[in-house]
Amino acid sequence: MHKGSCLCGAVRFTVASDLSEASACHCSRCRKWTGHFLADAEVPRDTVTIAGEEHIKWFTMSEKARRGFCATCGSSLFFDPLDKVKHSWLGIALGAFDSPTDTHLKLHIFTGDKGDYYEIEEGVEQHR
């Protein structure tokens, strides 16, 4: 069982599964949304319980997914695919989790879009 929250605590969540699919997305959308890049864990949607859902504001930029953040403190929290039939997972920002997360980044994606002010560590799988 993992727990987490936004910065102000209005949105809290628990995840009843392991955080196995941890990845970082360096696309320009995720970089703007988070202020750096999005490190998240894709967890089975039915293992997630959210409290304070009324404090979540959703931003939809494409037909593929919507992004949820706390309307009070602005914390980036959820990456939610809109096709619920095809995708049974919900992405949750790793920074919102309480420690220990018992996971680490296993994959970096859209690295061709990454910022020019940082490098990605060696030894982790990368997809441009």
Q: What residue type is 6 in one-letter code?
A: C
Closer to Zn ion by Cβ: residue 94 or 109: 94
From 15, 24, 70, 96, residue interacting with Zn ion (rule: CB under 5 A): 70
* 9: DSSP letter: S
73 contacts Zn ion (rule: CB under 5 A): yes
Q: Which two tokens stand for residue 83?
A: 């096709």
User: Are the C-beta atoms of 12 and 50 separated by less than 8 Å?
Assistant: yes
Per-residue x/- marks for Zn ion, 4-43, CB under 5 A? --x-x-x---------------------------------
Distance CA 103, CA 10 (A): 25
Please choose, out of 14-22, 24-32, 66-74, 92-100, the segment that lies near Zn ion by the rule CB under 5 A.
66-74
Q: Which two tokens stand for residue 19?
A: 């955080």
Instruction: Find the shortest distance in angstroms from Cβ 8 to Zn ion.
Output: 3
Q: Which two tokens stand for residue 42?
A: 């894709």
Closer to Zn ion by Cβ: residue 44 or 95: 95
